[in-house]
Chain A
Amino acid sequence: MSHFDEMTGLLYLENQLKPENAQTVRAHASECGECRDLLEALRRESLWLRESLEVEDESVPARLLSAPEKGSAPWGWISALALSIGGAYTLWSGIIEPWRAQAAEAGFTQGNLLTMLFFSGAFWKGWDAMRSMVEFVTVATMCVLVIWLLRKHLGRSSMIAVATVGIFGMLAMPPMAGAAQVEHGQPNFELAAGTTVHTDLIVFADSTRIDGDVDGDVIAWSRDVTVNGHVKGDVIAFAQELRVNGTVGGNVRAFAQKVELNSTVARNVSAWVGDFDLNQSAHVNGTITLGTGDAVLDGTADGDLLAFGGHIAIQGLLESNALVHSGEMTIGPKAEVKGKLKYEGRKPPDVSPSAKFGTPMETVLKMEDSEGSKYSSPMYYWHQVLKWAAGFVFGLALLLLAPGFFFDAASACRKYAPALGFGVLLLFATPIAAVIVCVTIVGLGVGITAMLLWLIALYAAHVVVGLWLGETILGAGVGVGAALARLALGLLILRIVFMLPFVGGWVGLLVIIWGIGALALATRKTVQPHMAAAV
């Protein structure tokens, strides 16, 4: 037989030849290398086509999750939108407005939400309620979802217009940034005495020393920052150690391990810091807002003091009011508080008899058994409803944006041992790893991103477990409607259990561990396409 053609080769490989013809081809191929090569090439091509077609690179769209039914009411949407509107109103009137007022009172007058989020969010008085920001985020998510759902009706150009307007809107929020001088230390940076920077100075360096003057702000990412010169604007530092010896015309904002102030600060001081020292020579003309481990205030503050911390020691002069939430508080013999001093803590304050007070000090000791009173407040139950709703809306968003992932995560809850194992590991290892990564400047972004994802995962954990619980009770459902019903039931049960005294906290921890473990398993499945089961 002469060489066979490609068509014959393909039909042979696909078992489409009559047996006698197939036998002829087989016999020829066994003797002819060229035809054998052809058969092999075609066979590989078939395999290549099959593999390429089988790869799952797209998730199943959310709208296909529910079986097509005529006249089915989109109750999930209606209830979610209603909850969002209710939640948004409560958040605005109960949290955002008071927050803005509080921030303005504390001297955060930058006047835009982004700056406030960055610099005052961490020091906000109602930090506990910051958890409700997640609820705010879900509301924002709902807006995105609505746009997403309407995308077909809006059309591509309208979508681009909406997105463009949104981006410009966001960009327009902060005031126009002035020019800035950006310095990268090699590895250290030093602004020599006698030199003046007329703009803002942004420094990334191992060690930063500013002996000269700066007309704008100083923003520094550095292991240690020392400011000896005169800074007319703010000093904003992300550092292990910040030492300010020169006069600051604006505010001092610090995220640091240790902060030491020895000079005059014309406006306010806010610090998220391990150790805070306001030395005797220091004078703050505005307010002091602290989130700190230990703080020693020997200097003078004209404005209010708001401090959260482990141990706060007041030994200097406070011209206005002070509110201290801490484990312990010490008032030294030279201390003088001209306004009202309120202390909330677990231990009674250690007050020197020679300390002076404008009005009698108010002390609120937090008792361990103060839990019971909350159950009598209607607001407590309304907040529980809101928290349930927030979880539900979060789950809805997950269902629509990543249904496959969400169902995978809920299914992964059934793998009890791996889920709990991964959960424990991630719960404790992630923040440690993120902090370690943050030590380097390059790793800062990675670390912060990891922490944010970790926080989102902590929240998502109970939503995933909620869906699993609902499906376990009601059985596997079909489509968005059924999944939402199961999610709602699961979250409701979890919320009720969380409300129980003592047990609730431990169950909450277990749910977080279990949920983030399940999320990790689902993530692993997603990033390993060959392992992924079809959604």
Chain B
Amino acid sequence: MTDVKQSKYEAVIGLEVHVQLATQTKIFSISSAAFGASPNEHTDPVCLGLPGALPVLNRAAVESAVRLGLACGCHIRPRCRFARKHYFYPDLPKGFQISQYDEPLCEGGAVTFRLNGEVRQIRLTRIHMEDDAGKNIHDASGVSFVDYNRAGVPLCEIVSEPDIRSADEAAEYLRAIRTLVRYLGISDGNMEEGSLRCDANVSIRLRGETKLGTKAELKNINSFKNVRDAIEHEIARQTVLLDRGERVVQETRLWDPDRGISASMRSKEQAHDYRYFPEPDLPPVAVDEAWLARARAALPELPEARHARYLGIGLSVQDASVLVSERSIGDYFEAALKAAPAHPKKIANWLINEVLGRVDDPRTLMAAEVPVPPTALAELVDLVEKGTLSGKLAKDVFGRMWTEKRRAGDIVAAESVSLVSDTSIIEEACKRVVERSPDEVARFRGGNAKLMGFFVGNVMKETGGKANPKTVNEILRKLLG
């Protein structure tokens, strides 16, 4: 792939990201908006576009879109309206999509995230609401079917300014949107199930040039990997064209992830005329100040704010990034920190190294079924910091906490696994080891300091691993001194 940093060209990328809103019902009708039912189970006269059926706006979808807009710092229009966008396709039951055109809900704003530790801000053009289409299913025999379960699921389309400069940045921007919508609880942001989808507008220009080059629109790039691969491929394709003195043609290209190439889908001349006009079946939507104030007050702490706060309490950039990457990870961290406020770094380490490794989906971290809830982790960290458990012992205890769903305190109390801090017991053990190892004692006293490990190891064996290593060291030094 072309190394963009070395190239004389600069890539200019804008993304159109579709987020399915996780409302109970569809945006304009009463059917369930849930994913995964049998074909056409979640349908009704409205979402099937049956004659005479009329859309009724789901207020919960507007609430979600308002939350997203506020989280991105957008201007929320006090009055927005829907428009019909026309084209023919079997998965589009009404022959038009109900979208927003000249009066979208949100304008301006930005998505902020970190790329290689550096803060990046991608400006938004707009965020608008619309209904999703159904899904065509092509049978191997050449017969096509349509499943309208998805038809009418609420979508937010997030349109960015052409502020993105690399494939990596595009992928990270998309990841930031996924994190954000999950923080807001408005979407599961699942790319595999299509609840987060993306088209990219890509052009290149000579570095220093301010005019935009001719863009190509890439479709079917519905995974982080596809976004990165497709954009890199497109930058390389355009670079070759310009280097040869040819021109980039404005067109829509379809990414083929299996072959790793894109192919022209339609040219500018074949582009649809969507014949937008205001949706006459829906009155304009008014979002008043009181509504905005309520929505603003209900916003959670957002990823970037959390990230900054975590750096402030001494976490590394890497750890902070992991903790904010998913709202539930940060929430887990917060809950544990509340129970053991003195040890943010230790909690972060345990959470990142032990807890996260044991869950399939970090979004389940705050579920009741998680074997080691945040307070239990805090208790364990406390025991280590108090010297009751060594790091090694604590790892074993954690393992048992996870598999047996028990608290650290229980395990320690019931099975006396805690470190022996009673100096008399340790002293007895140390004496026994020193007495039966005259050779090693002589060599140690002769200057072989490495043998300290041998003595410590033997004392630990004597105490079944429960002796506090610090105390063992002190006593041995006294005995051997």
A and B bind: no
Residues of B within 8 A of A (CB): none
